[in-house]
Amino acid sequence: MAKSQTGLSLVEVVVTLAIVAFALTLALPSYQSVAQANRLSAGSNALSGSMHLARSEAVLRGERVTMCVSDDGDRCSATGGWHRGWIVFHDPDANAQRGANEALLHVQPALEALSITGNQPVARYVSYSSLGWPRLTTGALQMGTLTVCVERQQGRKIVLSRTGRVRLDAANC
Residue 5 has pLDDT above 70, yes or no: no
Higher-confidence residue of 152 and 46: namely 46
Does residue 46 contact residue 146 with C-beta atoms inside 8 Å?
A: no
Sign of torsion, CA 70 94 163 59? Answer: positive
Helix (H, G, I), strand (E, B) or coil at 4: coil
In terms of Cα–Cα distance, which of 143, 130, 122, 64 is closest to 98? 64
112 to 44, 51, 82, 162: CA distances (angstroms):
13, 20, 11, 30
Sign of torsion, CA 147 96 140 129? Answer: positive
The pTM for the full model equals 0.81
Of all residues in the chain, the percent with pLDDT exceeding 70 is 96
Distance CA(109)–CA(104), nearest Å, equals 14
Q: What is the pLDDT of residues 63-85, one digit of tens each?
A: 999 999 999 999 999 888 899 99
Domains and CATH numbers, the chain: 12-172 (3.55.40.10)
Q: What is the pLDDT of residues 6-62, one digit of tens each?
A: 777 788 888 888 888 888 777 667 777 888 888 999 999 999 999 999 999 999 999
What are the DSSP E strand ranges found in the chain?
65-69, 86-90, 104-108, 115-118, 125-128, 144-149, 155-160, 166-171
Q: What is the pLDDT of residues 102-121, one digit of tens each?
A: 999 999 999 888 999 999 99
